[in-house]
Homo-oligomer: A and B are copies of this chain.
């Protein structure tokens, strides 16, 4: 089969690689129908050390079940399935608590002997716990882009909002106008947020943010941006800040924009290890810092109905569609901010 591999910063190649096969009785083989490029894929795209050995890429996909291990039940060959960006058994105590990203038998795609999703097919460990069948949706459905967001970006935006305890009446700042930030806006809106201030400087993206529910847009960054959020909130900042970038500058804006007693909820993968958390930043104002890799499996059942009935259309974050062979172009377009999010068709 064909699959995308990264060999170093800026160096993505689509190559031949062996077809995946069942290894465990809990596996499935899925033929991929839609995949995409994630904002988090841009981090290694900027910084990866060049290597002789390519790294498989991609962790978001919709596909069709082609083969099933003997222990997998609840799925059939031919099912169209959504996969979360981690696999999990959906039965261990962490999964039962909704923390599928810490599953005792779980893991990430494109790591160890698990392939990536920017590929024609993939072996899915813990298939029964991982995959969610979407009956009645065909391989050519107009719903595919929105369904694909359940694999990561919508669930991740929703995780940010849930962890921040967004509910009716909450005021929210969203830092970042990438796909996750925009879907954090949509999630906050769905959870009843009263006011949603989107910090982002790409007008086409913030326009989509307004469509998703943002009440205000702040294009300025740094101290200037923080000052504007404070002006919009009578000087106090917002109850919740959803940080969907991962860079220190975004963290600092979050600290500046959060209300005393509020919550900073991070879902952008931190590109730093140490950050201000002392009296002057978090502690003095009883600010809570939360977030992490989103257990999107926990949210699919909850988010799916409004996607299926068209109430929400999170798939609008895809503004470029390419074929697998064009994957390097898809990375480049996102890196240059020419594309918000790249959909890969097969």
Residues of A within 8 A of B (CB): 94, 97, 99, 101-102, 163, 260-261, 266, 269-270, 272-293, 295
Contact = CB atoms under 8 A, between A and B. Distances in A.
Contact of A99 (B260, B270, B272, B273): B260
B261 A270 contact: no
> What copy number does this chain have within its complex?
2
Nearest to A279: B270
Nearest to A261: B99
Among A101, A276, A277, A289, the most chain B Cβ lie within 10 Å of the Cβ of: A277
Contacts of A274: 274-278
Contacts of A94: 260-261
Contacts of A291: 283, 286
B289 A285 contact: no
Given A94-B260, A261-B94, A101 B286 contact: yes
Contacts of A282: 289, 292
Contact of A278 (B99, B273, B286): B273
A266 B292 contact: no
A274 B251 CA distance: 12
Given A94-B260, A99-B261, A274-B274, A283 B279 contact: no
